[in-house]
A = this chain, B = another copy of it.
Amino acid sequence: MIRNGMPLAQLNTPALLIDLKRVEANLARGITVANAAGVALRPHTKTHKSPYFARRQLMAGAHGLTVAKVSEAEVFAEAGFDDLFIANTIYGAEKARRVRRLAERVSLAVGVDHIEQVRAFSHAMERAGAPLAVMIEVDTGARRGGVDPQEAAALAGAVAGLPGLAVKGVYTYEGYTYSAPDRAALVATERQAQAVLIAAGQAVGEAAGVVPVISAGSTPGLLSGAGYLPGITEIRPGTYIFLDAAQADLAGGLEHCAATVLATVVSRPRPDRAILDAGSKALTSDVRAGGVCKTTGHGLLPDFGLVIARLSEEHGVIEGPGVERLAVGQKVRVVPNHICPVVNLFNEMVLIRDGLVVDVLPVAARGRLQ
């Protein structure tokens, strides 16, 4: 049983710990950067999947929320959040019907990058009371979804020409900046992506006869110091609330990482090897092998200067110099490489402050895949 005021050493492991002081500092940094640039902050909830942290984000100055799935939007709408953007292309009659029901309850926008999605949404919104807000996804270099920038206006025109829909603006995911080789290259890449997005957004605004929302923003962009070009009106960072090993350098060090996995040294089978009870089912297999957000191994132990060398499903293996400081039964804190999918593995988060437990929260939107 977890109790208020419990020291971390008494927690069962593996456990996902969230340091509230660090969260507060990270939220403050996010809104400071957004305000300095005059852009609205619409954080991506994929990182925490929790109404509690969404509320903290709004209270810290955010304007609305971003989600990735219809089911995530439903969780946050149910929890009382009334301004949601599903920043992901979706397709299917059942999902379109759920989008319509959500749009009747909250201010909702959806992303599109293909005429078939547009037609499906228009069909679902037939004779709706108000049109569904549509954001055109623009590919500024991520090579996943998004129209080519020069095709955004044509798709916006198609949206504007169909019943039940209203063009709201454009968005991009410029997360490929992760792999820029250094901070200068990251800044240059981020600015290039913003410039392309702004041009596409202006064309979309003209094509649809609206003042467009122009929405960029990944956490590397937020932390890079690139700032936001005039024309960007909104940003959607996700990881900035917790940070992780991959983004720690950009953020100024591991001491900014708010999320750690508490693990126990369950064995020392050899003098030069320690085994943690956190494997890939607690830390994921995500690696960041290159670029400015590079990290090594499968998780860092900043208190010991150690790195998890290998993972299997239930084992984290640490080897080499420094391992002698880890004894069986010892509890250690691991900074994961990539926090978003890690949160998605845990049913609950243990909130801590000054090294003591203050609360336990469900990861409410965990596993919301549809």
* Interfacial residues, chain A to chain B (CB-CB below 8 A): 12-15, 46, 68-69, 88-92, 94-95, 113-114, 116-117, 120, 139, 143-148, 175, 264-270, 273, 275, 277, 280-282, 284-287, 310, 312-315, 317, 328-329, 340-341, 344-347, 366-367, 369-370
By secondary structure, the A interface counts as loop
Q: Which residues of chain B have C-beta atoms less than 8 A from A312's C-beta? A: 144, 175
Min C-beta distance of A182 to chain B, whole Å: 22
Q: Which residues of chain B have C-beta atoms less than 8 A from A113's C-beta? A: 267, 269
Known: A91-B266, A147-B269. 18 other contacts (CB 8 A): A12-B94, A13-B370, A14-B369, A68-B313, A88-B315, A89-B275, A90-B277, A116-B329, A117-B328, A145-B269, A146-B269, A280-B284, A281-B344, A282-B369, A344-B345, A345-B345, A345-B367, A346-B367
Nearest 10 pairs of A and B residues by beta carbon = A116-B328, A91-B266, A285-B285, A144-B315, A89-B267, A12-B370, A68-B314, A285-B286, A114-B267, A89-B266
A340:B313 contact, CB within 8 angstroms = yes
28 residue pairs from A and B, CB less than 8 Å apart: A12-B370, A14-B369, A46-B314, A88-B314, A89-B266, A90-B277, A91-B329, A92-B264, A92-B329, A113-B267, A114-B268, A114-B328, A116-B329, A117-B267, A117-B328, A143-B273, A143-B310, A144-B317, A145-B275, A146-B269, A148-B270, A280-B286, A281-B344, A285-B285, A285-B287, A345-B345, A345-B369, A366-B367
A266:B117 contact, CB within 8 angstroms = yes
Q: Which residues of chain B have C-beta atoms less than 8 A from A268's C-beta? A: 114
Q: Quick one: given A346-B369, A369-B281, are A114 and B12 in contact (CB under 8 Å)?
A: no
Cβ-closest chain B residue relative to A280: B341
